[in-house]
Structure formats: structure tokens, C-alpha cells
Amino acid sequence: MQRYFAKQKIKDQFILNEEDIYHIKTVMRMNQHDRIQVVYDAKVYLCCLENVNADIQIQIEKELEVKENKTPKITLLIPLLKEQKMDLILQKATELGVNRIIPIETERSIIKRKEEKEDKKIERWRRICKEASEQSYRIDIPEILPIQNPKNMKPLEGLSLICSTTETQKNIRFILNSNTTCDRINVAIGPEGGFSESEEQMWNQLGFISVSLGNRIMRVETVPIYILSVLNFYYME
Amino acid sequence: MQRYFAKQKIKDQFILNEEDIYHIKTVMRMNQHDRIQVVYDAKVYLCCLENVNADIQIQIEKELEVKENKTPKITLLIPLLKEQKMDLILQKATELGVNRIIPIETERSIIKRKEEKEDKKIERWRRICKEASEQSYRIDIPEILPIQNPKNMKPLEGLSLICSTTETQKNIRFILNSNTTCDRINVAIGPEGGFSESEEQMWNQLGFISVSLGNRIMRVETVPIYILSVLNFYYME
């Protein structure tokens, strides 16, 4: 069954955004009395389409039970990448349960920051995360923060890690086993070529622990998928 | 440094295939005395380009030391998928260390088998795996077997798992913890919509244990990346 995030709830009816209405009517070609799931305020409702004409009416039938996920809240800090790689990361990270994404400026990133285009870019990223959230039946949409420069950042709450290409002692398994009670995990991922030495030191000063992901040489867009897979596995009940 | 797989070794020189020679000359624009790494028979050599004209000459300077990876040998059995998804799986699975890929026929796959095009398809898949192996500095290229129908298959050696959408008791963590000494792991992944009930039974009869990957709803192309990430993490030293 299709799932949509509502933008508003008025009594026992939901208001969707225009793209979702287009999806229901034109892509899915749904009819009156067809059912959909609607998420609002982290609750999921089984709904019935009472009207699919100009004014679409979405009537709540009942609230559905939702299994809570006990994985710590995960923030990924990711470098600016080419569109295709960024899109892949956003889609896959959403599927795998990321809670927050902070795009970061890095020295070796090929993509440079263009402030005038930033709002549009973030808007686009949010749309990708919303769609992936619907597809993977999430009850929330990952939050995307504005692009940040680590020079101006403050330490984040929780266990903070930076994926290092030079760290050889502490690997991700060792670090997770030594921090079993954290409820927030933040992971900073470098661009192609990794963080520079001085960047890594700056992250360390911000409280990010350098960590090795093992011996494999992964492309940058594989790293966030790897990390989220590992965290899902590690905190599996 | 660029790494290439050689097709032949004659005394202290290597012969590469035409695509790699094109890559060296035209894409990378390398010159005489530039260095590359060449892999042959699971050994890695530092080599020097003695000649980059019509007859390219690749001279061995020395053999390099290689860290052995102690992860069990992993075979992925993957359904026939649209080209873009298949390519993503092949590239990422290679990066994450898959050893063998068996494309399988499944009931719900949208892509139907066309025997006359099969050789060309497999040839293409092999090329993707070779390139990804070079990029990720592997010393071997995953083997791709011909497309198989599970009805005609025999049990595989090692621990065999099938990703189930209905299994609720045994999750991947439980299964790995209960089979700590296997040196081969085979994982069968279903198409969009999963395996049918009768298909899952057939796999079970072939010795594949049904396993849950947790509560997340992943797209089919995410599943092999998830599994390989988990296995890399689980067997990390």
C-alpha cells in the first residue's frame, strides 16, 4: 500500500502536498474508496480516498500500530558531491534509517559551495528524502541541515566519529564495543581522497574520534551505506 | 596509483587487454617511466611503463606485499534486475569483497531471461566487476556464473542463507552468531516483492536457511550492499 506524509491534519482528514496528489491521481491512477497510508506527526493512519476529483478527500479509518526502532539516532556529515552520488546517498541513507544529514564543506571536495543555489539544492535533497521515506515505510523524514563548514561548528551531542584513511588502531567494531550506551551517533565522511591531515585534526578537536572502516577501499558514496548497514546490524534486537 | 589486471605474463613483462591500454594512453595520458600496479594470479606488482607507443611495454620492478583478508568467501545469488540496478549491485558488491555472483531466475522478477542475449550480458557484467576490482585495489575479480534456475541447482558448499520477507524469528545476527566457523557464505536475494512462498520452500530444500535482515524496508539493490557491509564488519579483525 502506498504511504504518504501529510502536510496538515484537519479533524479526521489529511491534506497532502500537490506532488503527492499528482502521484495518487496520475501515476497510481487510484479511485474512490482505494486505501492509502498517511503519516502525520510520527503516527501512521489507514485512510480511504473519499473523493479523487479536483478536491481530493482523505478520510482516516484508523491509526495503525508502529514498531519502534531502538537504534541510536544517527547523523551523517557528508561532503558536497556530484549530483548522482549525492542522490544515491540520500536515498539509501533514508532507507537505512538515517535521522539527520549535515552537508559539510571539505578541502578536497570537487564540488564547491555556491551560496546562491543552496536553498534550491537543499529543497531538492529534502524531496529525495521524503520520497525515500515513503517508499521505505518510515514514520519520519530525515532532517537536512544547511551546509556547514566545520570551522564554525560546535561539538555535537553523542558519540562522534570521523572516517579516517590513516587510522589503523581503532576500527569501527572496537569503537562501537567501547561505547555501548550512546543514544546518538554522528559520523563524518570525507570526500574522494579523504580528509586532509589538518582537517582530521580539526574534527578531532570537535570531539570526533578517528575510526577505520577496515581494509576495503570504498568509493565515497559506498561509505554511508556501509556505516548505516553496520549500525542497523549492530543494534538489531 | 592506477591498478590493472593483466591477461598474460611473459617473463618480466605483462600484457594488458586493449581497454586497459586505451585507459593508460588516452584516458590517463601516462608517459614513459610512469608507474602502475599490475595484478596477475592474485599477486600485485609495481611496474614501470617502458614504452607507451604502439607497443606498450610494462616492466615489473618488484612484487608488492598484500594483506590477506580473512572474511569467508561470499557468493551472492541475485535476481535479474533492470540494468541500472544490476550495475550498481555489481560495482558495490565488488568493492565490498564479493567472491562469486550467481544470477538467478525468480518468479517475480520483471526482467525475463533471453537466452540469446545472455553471453553478451554476462560479458558486460564481468567488465563492470573487473573495473570495480581495479578501482578498489582488489587482487582478484569476482567470478560471475551463468544465469541459473534454482530448480536445477544443487546445494552449495558452506552456510547458505535466503533473505526472507516473512521470517520473524531468525535474524542475520542470530544466524551469524550460531555459525561462527564457516569459510563460505552464500546469500540468495529476492526480486522486488521478494521470493514467493513456494520459491522460499524450494530454496530451503536446497539448504538455504530463511533469515530476516531486520525491520527496515530496503529496495532490492540495497540488500546486497547491506549484507556485504554486515559481513565485512562481522569478520573484521
Instruction: Decide: A230 and B213 in contact? Cβ < 8 Å.
Output: no
Decide: residue A58, CB within 10 A, 0-12 exposed, 13-18 middle, 19+ buried: buried
Q: Is the dihedral of CA B98, B100, B105, B110 positive or negative?
A: positive
Per-residue pLDDT tens over the stretch B173-211: 999 999 888 899 999 999 998 999 999 999 999 999 999
> Is the CB of B217 less than 8 angstroms away from the CB of A137?
yes
Q: Is residue A97 within 8 angstroms of chain B, CB to CB? A: yes
Residue A129 C-alpha cell reads as 528524502
> Is the CB of A95 less than 8 angstroms away from the CB of B217?
yes
Q: Is residue B85 within 8 angstroms of chain A, CB to CB? A: no
> Is the CB of B233 less than 8 angstroms away from the CB of A230?
yes
Decide: residue B126, CB within 10 A, 0-12 exposed, 13-18 middle, 19+ buried: middle
Residues A36, A38, A43, A44: what is their CA dihedral angle, to the nearest 10 degrees?
A: 10
The pLDDT assigned to B53 comes to 81
The pLDDT assigned to A152 comes to 95
Q: Which residues of B touch A95 (CB under 8 A)?
A: 216-219, 222
Per-residue pLDDT tens over the stretch A71-111: 899 999 999 999 999 999 999 999 999 999 999 999 998 88
Instruction: Decide: A100 and A145 in contact? Cβ < 8 Å.
Output: yes
Residues B124, B129, B132, B138: what is their CA dihedral angle, to the nearest 10 degrees?
A: -150
Per-residue pLDDT tens over the stretch B105-160: 999 988 888 888 899 999 999 999 999 999 999 999 999 999 999 999 999 999 99
> Is the CB of B226 less than 8 angstroms away from the CB of A222?
no
> Is the CB of B222 less than 8 angstroms away from the CB of A96?
yes
| pLDDT over 80 at A154, yes or no | yes
| pLDDT over 80 at B54, yes or no | no
At the top level of CATH, the class of A73-234 is alpha beta
Distances from the Cα of B37 to the Cαs of B53, B62, B196, in angstroms? 19, 10, 46
Per-residue pLDDT tens over the stretch A182-213: 899 999 999 998 999 999 999 999 999 999 99
The pLDDT assigned to A67 comes to 80
Q: Which residue of B has its CA nearest to A212?
A: B236
Q: Is residue B37 within 8 angstroms of chain A, CB to CB? A: no
Q: Which residues of B touch A214 (CB under 8 A)?
A: 232-233, 236
Looking at chain B, the number of H-run helices and the number of E-run strands are 6, 12
> Is the CB of A225 less than 8 angstroms away from the CB of B230?
no
Query: DSSP H helical segments within A80-221, as ranges?
Result: 83-95, 118-135, 172-178, 197-205
Q: Residues A67-103, buried b or exposed e (16+ Cβ, 10 A)?
A: eeeebbebbbbbbbbeeebbbbbbbbbbbbbbbbbbb
The pLDDT assigned to B237 comes to 82
The pLDDT assigned to B195 comes to 95
Beta-carbon contacts of B158 under 8 Å, excluding residues fewer than 6 positions away, are B72, B73, B75, B182, B183, B184, B185, B186
Rounded CA-CA distance A207/A47 in Å is 46
Biggest distance spanned by C-alpha atoms of chain A: 62
> Is the CB of A67 less than 8 angstroms away from the CB of B215?
yes
How many Cα atoms within 13 Å fall on the side-chain side of residue A163?
28
Q: Which residues of A touch B222 (CB under 8 A)?
A: 92, 95-96, 225
Could you say which of B95, B171, B234 has the minimum Cβ distance to residue A216? Answer: B95
Q: How many degrees, rounded to 5, is the angle at CA A186 between CA A182 and CA A190?
A: 150
The pLDDT assigned to A227 comes to 98
Backbone angles phi, psi at B193, to 5 degrees: 90, -10
ipTM of this predicted structure = 0.88
Could you say which of B67, B216, B225 has the minimum Cβ distance to residue A225? Answer: B225
Q: Which residues of B touch A233 (CB under 8 A)?
A: 172-173, 214, 229-230, 233-234
Confidence class for position B75, pLDDT limits 50, 70, 90: very high
Share of chain A above pLDDT 70, in %: 100
Q: Is residue B96 within 8 angstroms of chain A, CB to CB? A: yes
How many Cα atoms within 13 Å fall on the side-chain side of residue B109?
21
Looking at residues A144-163, what average pLDDT do you find?
96
The pLDDT assigned to A157 comes to 96
Looking at residues A153-160, what average pLDDT do you find?
96
| pLDDT over 90 at B69, yes or no | no
Whether the model clears a pTM of 0.95, i.e. scores above it, the answer is no
Residues 102-161 of B with CB under 8 A from A: 135-137
Query: What CATH number should be reported for the domain whose range is B3-64?
Result: 2.40.240.20
Rounded CA-CA distance B125/B141 in Å is 11
Rounded CA-CA distance B201/B210 in Å is 9
Q: Could you tell me which residues are beta bridge partners of residue B75?
A: B100, B186
The candidate with the shortest Cα–Cα distance to A182, out of A151, A204, A201, A209, is: A209
Instruction: Decide: B175 and B161 in contact? Cβ < 8 Å.
Output: yes
Residues 156-185 of B with CB under 8 A from A: 171-173
Per-residue pLDDT tens over the stretch A15-71: 999 999 999 998 899 999 999 999 999 899 999 999 888 788 999 999 999 887 778
| pLDDT over 90 at A175, yes or no | yes
The pLDDT assigned to A115 comes to 84
Residue B226 C-alpha cell reads as 547491506
Looking at residues B204-227, what average pLDDT do you find?
96
Delimit the domains of chain A by residue range.
3-64, 73-234
